[in-house]
Every structure is written in structure tokens, then in C-alpha cells.
Structure 1
Amino acid sequence: MLREALRFPLRGDRGDVLETLAIGGGLHLLAAYLPLVPLVPVVGYLVGVLRDGSDGDPPLFRDPRRLLRDGVLGSVVCVAYLLPPLALLLVTVGRAAIEGVPADVPSGVFVVASTLSLLSAAAVAYLLPAALVGLSREGLRAAFAPRELLSTAANGRYFYAWVVGGATLGTAAALSPGLNRVALGFFVLFYAEVVAAAAWAAAVGGNRFTSAP
């Protein structure tokens, strides 16, 4: 799976590959000066990768309406999943790191609360790719369907793909700050995002978001 996912962004006509990498990396670069907005079509592109799977050639940045629609919906799903655990982490771990543990809070309570917040964040991060696959193949409702999500996430192939995608994104995120001095990091990060999406799409397989029996 890793080998196929790494090759996926380079499939197809060389001109199309260069165009896609240039646009995707360029949008990341633009986001450094205009936060978030340029990343909406990037999210839309990645939703397209999840929809089409990893068997064919990568999609292209040539349907602005669809990219924006998918980007907005994908961003809504990401915010809905990530905002609650991030808020909880800021209230517990983040506040303690900045201000220290309040004197009136028992240490055991703080340990339990911070552990639960970390576990919830990890659970959400694990389910999010499955939710985005559901969005891409069945629509917004599938991104919040517990039965289908758990059916997909409980599969060992999905776990392996999640690890592959996470490791790829983590490596790119670690390399990007140094490479951004010559703007290369933005393109490396986009490449890694496509690789991760291709791995997740291959893990689910098929043309539809499979439901639990």
C-alpha cells in the first residue's frame, strides 16, 4: 500500500502531474499570506482523491465549482470533528502548560481529564479519514454515520492505511519548515497529503462507503 500511495501523485501525463503539484503547492504557499482560504480547494482536491480511489490517475484542478463545493463540505467535516477535542485539549493540557495546574484542582482529577482529552483527540484523528471517505462517496450524512464509520475504522487494512498516512504527513510536516526557506516545503506537504489520501482511499476500496451489516 505504501509503495502504491507514494507513486499515486505521479501517475498520468507528466504535464498534468506537474500542473497538479504546482497548483497544490502554490495554494499552500498562498495560505502562508492569506490564511485558510486557499486551502479550501486543496481540501476539495483531496476529497476528490478519496472519492475516485487510488486505482486510476489523480484528479486535476480543472473543475473549480466542484473543488469549492467539496472543499467547503470537507472543511465543515474537519472542523466538526477537530474543534471539540482541540478545545478540550486547550482547556486542560494547554492551560496547564501555560498557567500550571490550578491549586483547587486535585492532581488525580487533572490527570484523568488530560488523559481523556488526549484519548478523545486520538479517536477523532483516527475516525476523520473514514468520515471524509464517507463524505466523498455518499455525502455529508455519511460523514457522521456512527455505524458505517465504526465498520470502516474497525478494519485492519484501514488501521494500516491510517498509520501510513499519518506517518507520511508527520514526516512532511517535520521537513516542511526547513524546506520552506526555498518554498519547497509547501509542495512536499501537498504531495504528502495526496499520498495519505490515496492510502486511505485504497484501504476502504470500492466505489461506495460500505455500510455495516
Structure 2
Amino acid sequence: MNHISVSDAKGIMGKNMIGPEEIDKLTDMKLLLGELLPEIQYSRDELEKKKEDYILILGIGSFNDGSPVTIRNMKKIVGMNPELSEPCFYNQDWYNKEDFIDIPMRDGWFLIRKEIYEESRAIQPLELKEKYNFPSAISCTYAFFMAWYILGIKLWYHDFVWCSDTDHNGDRIYVGKYHDVDGVNKNGFSIHRHLALRPCYGCID
């Protein structure tokens, strides 16, 4: 496959692209751009098909100080208090000992969908996995904050997105829903797990 150049990809994706130029200007979260850029692995045809509904993003694996771009480290930078600054993470700590928050972002380009598929709403993740490839939690988290900072887009503002990661019990991770439409919870990028039914669940009367 002939690889497409960054400039040609920009010509196709337009505003739906976060590349080295955009990342280099980022002040809220300084990332370490290498001298050699990864090749864009997508074909021109694929980008043409997805240019309206997806964002093409350059993933960077390290911050300027050399620390890895992980959910844990991003959380340290942006915090959890929307009254101090936004965007931020939702104030929760259940996942602090989970492995998936220390998985680093990979260097390379990826496409991520801006809105969830309407036909996927309220469907069990096991059923959805037969048709869709779930993105990783770090990819979704990275995409959310990059899109907010650079493009001014608030991805999955009222929706949750299933991820490929699971917790130590094998429960599926889902992220997103920055804003609670009912106004009960404070703003923040949320990370949750879908609890599977196990023998320890039951009822009483």
C-alpha cells in the first residue's frame, strides 16, 4: 500500500485531523515530538470514507519530560476539579490500582469516531464485539483531551464508549460522558467498568 503524506491527509481530513503542527502548539499538555514521524498507515480511500465522522490523530507516547503518556499521568496534569480548570477527569479513584491506566499511548496515527453508532446504544458489549473493534481506554482518553484542547471538540459529551480494556476481574471498561445532563454529577471525563454477573450477586426478601 502506498503511504499517504501528512499534507495529503490534511487535505482530505481538513479540521478532523490532529497532526504534528497542532500538537507542537499545544500548551496545556506538552508532548515529545520525535524527529521522524510515523507513517500514516491508512489509504487515501479509507480517509475519504471516514473524513466526516472520524478524527485522524497522531498518537505520542511521551511527554516532554520523558514520562509516558498514560491515563494516570494525564490525570495528574489536568486534575479532577472542574471548578479549577476544564477539561478534567471526573473525581473517582476506583481504577487507581488497575493496570490499564498505566498502559502508554502508542506512537502512531489512529482514527477515532466522533460519535457513537446510534444502533449500538443499549446493546451488551459482548454482542457489539462481534461487529465492532473497541478502541483502547488510553486511545479514547488521549483523543478526548487532544480534541478538546486543539479542535475545541467535546467528544462523547453525553455518551459512554466501550473500550477494549478490562479490569482485574475481566469487567469491561467504558469511558466518556463528560457532562451529566441531569446536573447531578460534576463535569469530568469518566472511566467506569461494566460489572458482569457472578455467583456473588443475588437477592434477599
Q: TM-score, normalised by structure 2?
A: 0.24
Higher share in strand: 2
| Highest RCO, 1 vs 2 (Cα 8 Å, sep ≥ 6) | 1
Higher share in helix: 1
